């Protein structure tokens, strides 16, 4: 099981020098990946049923941050957990990802989904009820953009250059919707934050059977979750349980305020947790 960590592109830690220092620390470690979040921003008042950190209202675009950090690192992969596909036109998304793939030498991981915060859809003038359709259309376009073919965009023939080097695609969301979408367009599934090892094991046992019967490749599973690192044995047991459930990459998510704190978390993931899951 691969191991990653979040890098907070929002709030007081979303400053260029601090982001760069954190990314370099991850790049110098044995971590496999670091993951960014995506929001347009937050309205002054909204229904916070998803318990969104209010500091996410001050957030840097994850694709811009990935591009910035790609230039100062050599090895670490950059993921989005998740990029909300309906927030950007498909051709713009394709162009941005193609550019990041060039600048990072193909180190980008596209975790993506349809989104959920109605106020952001309203601000963008996008119907929330259309988010599934837009997500599928964008994913279809990304695959087409990776084959170098001539595209017809709103009646205009167009060549997308640089040609998109299609990154691994992880579809976020509830299994009933996200997994069929991942089978159609992606590399794997990115479960919702609260999914337990038992939930994932049950879900993936069923879907692995279906993909095996259809002769399709089994999906990877990228799980983003906070390990209780202050309780060593519990953290080890939880990480091991996710691995046993079929998770192929575990991304530890945690708040931090200083570079030393970020480095300490990396050391715990690289040391204690890595030994338990390898």
Residue-wise pLDDT tens digits, 12-38 = 999 999 999 999 999 999 999 999 999
Residue-wise pLDDT tens digits, 236-250 = 999 999 999 999 999
- 2-277: CATH topology is TIM Barrel (3.20.20)
Residue-level pLDDT at 48? 64
Residue bearing tokens 């099981």: 1
Residue-level pLDDT at 43? 85
Residue-level pLDDT at 4? 99
Q: Where are the domains of the chain?
A: 2-277
User: What is the pLDDT averaged over residues 63-67?
Assistant: 99
Percentage with pLDDT > 70 across the chain: 100
User: What is the pLDDT averaged over residues 91-110?
Assistant: 98
Mean pLDDT score of the chain:
95
Q: Does residue 117 carry a pLDDT above 70?
A: yes
User: What is the pLDDT averaged over residues 179-204?
Assistant: 97
Q: What is the pTM of this model?
A: 0.96
Q: Does residue 150 carry a pLDDT above 80?
A: yes
Dist CA 60 CA 63 (whole Å):
9
């Amino acid at each position: 099981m691969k191991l990653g960590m979040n890098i907070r592109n929002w709030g007081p830690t979303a400053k260029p020098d601090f982001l760069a220092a954190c990314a370099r620390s991850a790049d110098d470690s044995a971590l496999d990946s670091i993951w960014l979040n995506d929001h347009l921003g937050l309205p002054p008042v909204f229904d916070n049923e998803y318990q969104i950190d209010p500091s996410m209202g001050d957030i840097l675009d994850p694709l811009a941050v990935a591009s910035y950090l790609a230039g100062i690192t050599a090895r670490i992969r950059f993921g989005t957990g998740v990029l909300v596909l309906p927030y950007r036109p498909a051709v713009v998304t394709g162009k941005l990802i193609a550019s990041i793939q060039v600048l990072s030498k193909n180190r980008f991981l596209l975790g993506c989904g349809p989104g959920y915060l109605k106020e952001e859809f309203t601000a963008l003038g996008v119907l929330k009820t259309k988010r599934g359709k837009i997500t599928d259309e964008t994913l279809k376009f990304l695959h087409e953009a990776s084959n170098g073919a001539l595209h017809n965009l709103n009646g205009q023939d167009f060549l997308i250059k640089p040609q998109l080097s299609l990154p691994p695609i992880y579809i976020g969301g509830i299994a009933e919707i996200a997994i069929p979408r991942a089978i159609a367009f992606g590399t794997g599934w990115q479960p919702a934050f609260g999914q337990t090892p038992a939930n994932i094991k049950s879900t993936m046992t069923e879907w692995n059977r279906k993909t095996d019967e259809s002769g399709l490749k089994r999906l990877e599973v990228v799980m983003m979750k906070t390990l209780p690192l202050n309780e060593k044995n519990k953290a080890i047991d939880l990480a091991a349980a996710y691995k046993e459930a079929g998770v192929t990459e575990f991304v530890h998510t945690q708040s931090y305020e200083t570079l030393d704190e970020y480095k300490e978390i990396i050391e715990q993931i690289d040391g204690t947790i890595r030994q338990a899951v390898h």
